[in-house]
Structure 1
Amino acid sequence: MESTDLFRQIEFIKEVDKLKYIVRKTKLFNSDRNENDAEHSWHLALMAIVLAGHANVPVDLLKVVKMLLIHDIVEIDAGDTFIYDTQKSHDNTAEERAAANRIFGLLPEAQAAELMAVWEEFEAQQTNEAKFARAMDRLEPLLQNTSNNGGTWAEFGVTYEKVYTKKQVIQQGSATIWQYAEQLINESVDRGILER
């Protein structure tokens, strides 16, 4: 490997350290401390390893883990958009695309193209791997909010309908995990930590 490739890879590694400073709205389990994007990505990757047997169909676990570790890198430039934000769309934006081009572009060309393709696959939500990765991304905040007596739902006045609508995507990656998630959502209403 050429030293210029190594230099570019090290620059990328330094740049993505900034993910540790991007603070999310959700809080750690049973905590009042907000999670950062790096913690979130690591946790999702580990969740995928542990829960892969519940995917609707067998998935390429390495690809899923790659998706989960890089899916929020664009937030270094674009910032984290709260999933229930009423002012800004949580969907992929031109801002995120520009961030992906800049950050992945720090890498040698072949690696940049590979990671960009993995990021785009996650965003498109068409493959089994992307669907399972998205299921993990939607499950973790649900678990956090139920552990924190409603967490961001209570803090931002998020209702059952909004939570149910956003979380339904879990079933595309895992019907089994969706059954569990749906039960948690309904129990949250019963517990009074999610408004109907």
Structure 2
Amino acid sequence: MNLERLQQQIAFIMEIDKMKSIYRKSIITDRSRQENDAEHSWHLAMMAVVLLEHANAKSIDPLRVIKMVLVHDLVEIDAGDTFAYDDAGHEDKYDRELAAAERIFGILPEEQGCELMELWQEFEARATPESQFAAAIDRLAPMLLNYYTEGHSWKEYGITSDQVIARNRHIGNGSEALWQYAQTFIEDAVQKGFLAEKKSEQ
């Protein structure tokens, strides 16, 4: 047994326990509290397993998608969660998250840390079929939570349907089927009053 290597791995595993205390804007469907990052990542991993057949690419590595969705938000341990519709927060988001990735993945033995860094960078670039599908379900998940909580976060932050469409249209890059489905419940959310139809004119 390589004790130093094992200690590095355990240190990383305990560091990422902090994800359980990073709360997102979305609330869980029983409306009792906000969703945390660890729950979000687990939910995405299950979505990858269940929804993979709807990916645009028919030759796709499911394990790579699962790894990517489990890794992509680990950087929020340092960088925090940036709200999807916070334009100012997105200006330096990549730089903050890159510094976080270097520190957090650097806890691991070098080759494992490099693998996780590559997965994170692949997710961010959205240039491969796997990363495009991973990004698609990452965007779909909070939309579903909003819809099934009658627009809780949409209403709280004054989000409108044109913002939701603009922010999430790249779902179609990973899955046209999921984007078509998302558009149907965006329309339904507007009809039911869960989501304002458009920005008011100033």
TM over 0.5: yes
Contact 2:172 2:178 in 1 (8 A): yes
The code of the aligned residue for 1:155 comes to E
Contact 1:55 1:132 in 2 (8 A): yes
Helix, strand or coil at the partner of 2:150 = coil
Length, aligned pairs only: 196
Contact 1:30 1:144 in 2 (8 A): no
Alignment map for 1:50-61 (pairs within 5 Å): 50-58=50-58, 59-61=60-62
Helix, strand or coil at the partner of 2:136 = helix
Match of 2:28 in 1: 28
1:94-132 CA distance string (max 9 Å, x none): 111010000000000000111100110000010000000
Match of 2:118 in 1: 117
CA distance in 2, matches of 1:55, 1:30: 29
* C-alpha distance 120-5 of structure 1, shift in aligned 2 (>3 A): same
Could you list the structure 1 runs, at least 4 aligned residues long, displaced by more than 4 angstroms after superposition. Answer: none
Match of 2:200 in 1: none
1:32-74 CA distance string (max 9 Å, x none): 4100000000000000100000100131000000010010000
* C-alpha distance 90-129 of structure 1, shift in aligned 2 (>3 A): farther
Structure 2, gaps ≥5 residues long? 198-202
Q: TM-score, normalised by structure 2?
A: 0.94
CA distance in 2, matches of 1:17, 1:30: 24
Match of 1:136 in 2: 137
Amino-acid identity (%): 51
Q: TM-score, normalised by structure 1?
A: 0.97
CA distance in 1, matches of 2:72, 2:87: 22
Match of 1:77 in 2: 78
Helix, strand or coil at the partner of 2:35 = strand
The code of the aligned residue for 1:178 comes to W
Contact 2:82 2:93 in 1 (8 A): no
Alignment map for 1:98-117 (pairs within 5 Å): 98-117=99-118
1:62 aligns with 2:92: no
Tell me by how many angstroms 1:91 deviates.
7.3
* C-alpha distance 90-131 of structure 1, shift in aligned 2 (>3 A): farther
* C-alpha distance 77-10 of structure 1, shift in aligned 2 (>3 A): same
Structure 1, gaps ≥5 residues long? none
Contact 1:67 1:130 in 2 (8 A): yes
CA distance in 1, matches of 2:164, 2:79: 24
Helix, strand or coil at the partner of 2:89 = coil
CA distance in 2, matches of 1:191, 1:30: 19
Match of 1:176 in 2: 177
The code of the aligned residue for 1:113 comes to C
